[in-house]
Amino acid sequence: MNVAVTLVNTVPPPQRVQSVDRAVGLLEALAAAPEPETAPALADRCALNRSTAWRILATLEHHGLVERDPVTHRYRIGYAVVRLAAGAGHEPLIRMAHPALRALAEATGETVSLAVPRQLQLFSVDQLQGAQVMAADWLGRSTPLHATSTGKAFLAWLDAAELDAVLSQPLERFTAATTCTPAALRRELAGVRANGWSASRGELEPGLWGVSAAALDRWAHPVAVVSVWGAEARLRRHGLPALGARTAAAAQAIGAAAAGLADEGRAA
């Protein structure tokens, strides 16, 4: 007599939390959207009850994972998502950005660096020496935000609450040229957003000048900052507007490549 034996899988299936699934779905819908979305549109796209979508979005907004425009009431991915992504490591971004940094260093003959945000700080993760070797090395170090072109390029693209948090702290004076008042710094940052690049003229160290530009994601959040810096006399010869435009072009290319990298990661 044949006896059929049925094997029973005694391992229970993994348990998932429905509210977390729904929150992830809303974040993925926002990431895929070409522009900020309304809560009703997101609810429909994710097949959620609108009141449920509102509550989840409000929670995500509280934690900075989404941001709501106070005028249009449309949502976009929040800056906290960038901070979380930073924890995964910077190696893919560094590899992707390195050719653009090298081209910029060769074209200018100056030191070029790449900094990335972590919370409300910037850390230098790649640096290339141009033909003119500088003694200073910021690789792996935190960048003073208000006293460097790197920091100002980053601050210019923060949202109002994040900028307020930075400017609520005392602004240390490094040299006679350092901007130490929040009002003056806010005026300068408005110019950075308009021009697309920032400058530091001996504000961290006397005689050390620099220009920087932020690499932005599709929501105009800074994912990295490209900087060119060197001695005052040499950067004067380059001309800051021309050097700033060249740096901004490199940052724009890196931002576009980073967006493509993110799209590949979502597709995978």
Token digits for 28?
Answer: 């993925």
pTM for the complete prediction?
A: 0.68
Residue ranges per structural domain of the chain:
18-77, 84-267
Burial of 62 (0-12, 13-18, 19+ CB in 10 A): exposed
Contact 74, 87 (CB under 8 A): no
| 47-56 per-position pLDDT tens digit | 999 999 999 9
Fold of 18-77: Arc Repressor Mutant, subunit A (1.10.10)
Neighbours of 84 (CB within 10 A): 12
Burial of 248 (0-12, 13-18, 19+ CB in 10 A): buried
> Could you read off the pLDDT tens digit of each residue along the chain, which spans 268 residues?
454 545 445 555 567 889 899 999 999 898 888 788 999 999 999 999 999 999 999 999 988 888 888 778 899 887 666 556 655 556 778 888 999 999 999 999 999 999 988 778 888 888 888 665 554 555 656 778 999 999 999 999 998 888 998 999 999 999 999 999 999 999 999 999 999 999 999 999 999 999 999 999 888 889 899 999 999 999 999 999 999 999 999 999 998 887 765 555 444 4
Q: Is 89 helix (H, G, I), strand (E, B) or coil?
A: coil
DSSP-derived secondary structure letter, 37: B
Contact 215, 222 (CB under 8 A): yes
CATH classification for the domain delimited by 84-267, as one of 3.40.640.10, 3.30.450.40, 3.40.50.150, 3.40.50.12280: 3.30.450.40
Measure the CA–CA gap between 180 and 26, rounded to whole angstroms: 41
Topology agreement, domain 18-77 and domain 84-267: no
